[in-house]
Structure 1
Amino acid sequence: MAGDVPPEVEDRLRAICGSLPEVHEEPAWVGVRWRVRQRTFAHACSVEPVPPGKGAGHPTSDAARVFPGHDRLDVVSFRVPDDDVAGLSAVGFPFYRPGWGTNVIGLVLTAATDWQEVEELLTDSYRIQAPKRLARLVEGR
């Protein structure tokens, strides 16, 4: 079953997302998400291996199906500019395509995660989802 990311991971994501204008955090269908107005720009959860006999469409299948052999994966998904989707997808681990949304990328969070890169990616996602007036407030970040 999927669930919440560990508190220390959620705290790091909360610090990044909460520093952006007019953002609110709320529980998602699983895990937690950050929104600007009514548009989600970041979603974090933990996923466990896909149960035998389950596959695409199972709620835990996205990252677990792409990266089998893990007991649990902590992931964050976010929006990227359309031009960046193919490039990030081609990188492979820790990036993956969640299988929904044309411009959505997932990132597996590990001990080796570059949190400065996460901040840049989530700020870009915010810019994509935020109204133009708010997006301009974080230009140059």
Structure 2
Amino acid sequence: MPRRIEPEADVVRRIGAIATRLPEAREEEAWTGVRWRIRAKTFAHVMVAQPGYESAYRDLTGDDSIRTVLTFRAVGDELLALTHAGWPFYRPPWSPTIVGMVLDDDTDWTEVAELVTESYRACAPQKLVRLLDT
């Protein structure tokens, strides 16, 4: 089996800069890649989809390329819109509220910040969410 590829440090730093500014959010190593959590809930996870390892992205798209992907939570109209948006978004079948996004040279990092923040809002206790609005 090939060695597991980890996300580039710059990508982890960029997402971490967004995620760790949120109240009580923490960064930790995941089974692969890095995830950001609020208490026991993961609100963002970056990893590399690569041949030789399970990947919802590769299963859904048939793309055997090595791709860096970010998964996050979405709800309501945002979930519906992202589910039907097409590239770079996809919807893993293992959760009704998780959306994936391929990160590449064309990634809109302002959009990533908005999506990660909204994912946090969907996971965090309301008293912490209220801190974002003050």
TM-score of the superposed pair, with normalisation by structure 2? 0.90
**Matches of 2:63 and 2:129, distance apart in 1:** 39
In the TM superposition, residue 77 of structure 1 has moved relative to its aligned partner by 0.4
The letter for the 2-side match of 1:94 is P
Aligned residues: 132
State the identity %.
41
Aligned equivalent of 1:116? 110
Q: CA RMSD in A?
A: 1.7
What 5-or-longer segments of structure 1 have no aligned partner? 52-58
After superposing on structure 2, the runs of 4+ consecutive aligned residues of structure 1 that deviate more than 6 Å are none
Aligned equivalent of 2:93? 99
In the TM superposition, residue 25 of structure 1 has moved relative to its aligned partner by 0.9
For the pair 1:60 / 2:54, whether they are aligned, the reply is yes
For the pair 1:71 / 2:65, whether they are aligned, the reply is yes
Aligned equivalent of 1:45? 47
In the TM superposition, residue 60 of structure 1 has moved relative to its aligned partner by 2.6
CA contact (8 A) 1:64 1:73 kept: no
**Matches of 2:93 and 2:5, distance apart in 1:** 19
**Matches of 1:90 and 1:20, distance apart in 2:** 28
1:133 match: secondary structure: helix
Can you list the C-alpha shifts for 1:66-122, whole angstroms capped at 9, x where unaligned? Answer: 333442110110011133223211111100012221111000001000000000000
